[in-house]
A and B are shown apart, each in its own frame.
Chain A
Amino acid sequence: MDSAALLLSLRLALLTVAILVPIGIVAGRWLATRDFTGRPLVEAIFALPLVLPPTVLGYYLLVTMGGASPIGRWYEAATGRPLVFTFEGLLVASVIFNLPFAIQPLQRAFEAIPEDLRHAAACCGLTSWQSLWRIELPLAWTGLLTAAVLTFAHTLGEFGVVLMVGGSIPGETKTVAIAIYDRVQGFDMAGAGLMSALLLVLSVAAIAVTYWTSSRHRRKHAAAD
């Protein structure tokens, strides 16, 4: 059992969620409430990581963030550490890669709110922010939970991008998924098996929580007009 890798993965997943949930709320609400030409294109771009092979994303991230790129060089000059092969680089990759998992559930949740409720909030004198905080988010909270849980579980399992952009540096970029891969190569099947089982349990728990809360929510608000 590689506890450093486990801790690293948990940290990466939690930070990704912390960064992506606000982004998901803003983007999801924007896509749900504003109709503009080119919206399908924007939605498609946000959905890209769903279908893009992880290695393709990894490749493009290497090109744009790597040591030879302007961004990479600027970052290293500013902080003394490269952007790739570090935890921060991994975090950047993780945020990009999980965009659709955070945005789509929230967008659906905001879309499910009847438009007249937003209008009613405005007529009550609530600003857009107050409407979001007091009216829309409470009604969209299952979408929020789904977004958080999916992002969390997906980050834990991410492999291809992590390998390409992070390398496999213990304590820095060696996530649980990488550690499992490494253990198998090291003929430590027991260790690999233990970590795999743990990931499996975490993933199942995450999905179960999502489905359970959303069905509770559906039952509670079923009779609402």
Chain B
Amino acid sequence: MNRYRRGWHRLCLALLALVATPVAMADAPLVAAASDLRFALDDVAAQFARDTGNTVRIVYGSSGNFRRQIAAGAPFEMFMSADEALVFALAGEGRTVDDGVLYAIGRIVLVVPEGSALKLDPRLQDLAPAVADGRVRKFAIANPEHAPYGRAAQEALTAAGAWKTIEPRLVFGENVAQAAQFALSGSAQGGIVALSLALAPGVLGTARYVPIPESMHRPLSQRMVLTKRAGATARAFFSYLQQPAARAVFKRFGFALPGE
């Protein structure tokens, strides 16, 4: 029994040490970023770290969720929204230093995974017939309630006259990245996701995509803003995002840049 007790004691000590040491947490500022920025922003942040030696901690999610969390006091120092209305709302509530800056304009695309018989029509005209004859059983978009890319998808589907038909077949992603996951995993026969995700290496795989005309939805004006908690590093990152190096990355991922 004594051998057991010694073993237990050692285990307890080890666990205690684990609990006591604070997790290596940098005071790196928290950035709330819309999911469509996932790969683009990772690249920019890496460059930022190389150039300035400072790091940021990025949390990806749906812009609507972040807007709610920041309003509830979540400790983000910067908010990169896919919908500028959300930034204005927070500014109006006094959560931000100002109205922020337009940093990119997003695009939505129709994706069709391999094995799906959906036609790759940018005007989405094949959707209703595909639902009718059973070629499309599930179609993925982001949740229009709080994801700007979901709202844009809904607008495009409505403009194409396909919303009523496709609505019962929709699968909603928490954010546009999850929608892309659903659309490309083989569980759905297609979806509407962000162009920036489609362009990310390793995402599409064998799937095909086509951009949807901007006329079919309200513009995805992506606005970023510093919150009242923003510190020096956050401010530095904020300006870095407006520099040519960062803008080049955004362009590579299919974003249209303001002023171009």
Contacts and interface: CB of A to CB of B under 8 A. Distances in A.
Q: Do chains A and B touch in the complex (CB under 8 A)?
A: yes
Interface of A: 4, 7-8, 10-11, 14-15, 18, 62, 66-68, 72, 76, 81-82, 84-86, 167-172, 174, 182, 184-187
Given A82-B73, A186-B177, A170 B57 contact: yes
**Majority secondary structure, B binding face:** mixed
B178 A169 contact: no
Contacts of A67: 71-73
B18 A72 contact: no
Nearest to A182: B60
Interface in B57-103: 57, 59-61, 69, 71-75
B73 A18 contact: no
8 contacts: A4-B24, A10-B18, A68-B72, A81-B75, A85-B75, A185-B60, A187-B181, A187-B200
B107 to A, nearest CB: 19
A186 B73 contact: no
A11 B18 CA distance: 7
A57 to B, nearest CB: 17
A159 to B, nearest CB: 12
Interface residues of B, number: 29
Interface in B168-186: 174-175, 177-178, 180-181
Contacts of A170: 57, 59
Nearest to A171: B25
Nearest to B32: A167
B59 A167 contact: yes
Contacts of B174: 185
A184 B181 contact: yes
A182 B178 CA distance: 9
Nearest to B175: A185
Contacts of A72: 73
**Majority secondary structure, A binding face:** loop
A171 B73 contact: no
Interface of B: 15, 18-19, 23-26, 30, 35, 38, 57, 59-61, 69, 71-75, 174-175, 177-178, 180-181, 200, 202-203
A169 B75 contact: yes
Contact of B18 (A14, A76, A84, A186): A14
B59 A168 contact: yes
Contacts of A185: 35, 38, 60, 174-175, 177-178, 181
Between A7, A18, A72, A169, the greatest number of chain B beta carbons within 10 A of the residue's beta carbon is seen for A169
A78 to B, nearest CB: 14
Given A66-B72, A171-B24, 12 more contacts: A8-B23, A14-B19, A68-B72, A84-B72, A84-B74, A167-B69, A170-B57, A171-B25, A171-B26, A185-B35, A185-B38, A187-B200
Contacts of B200: 187
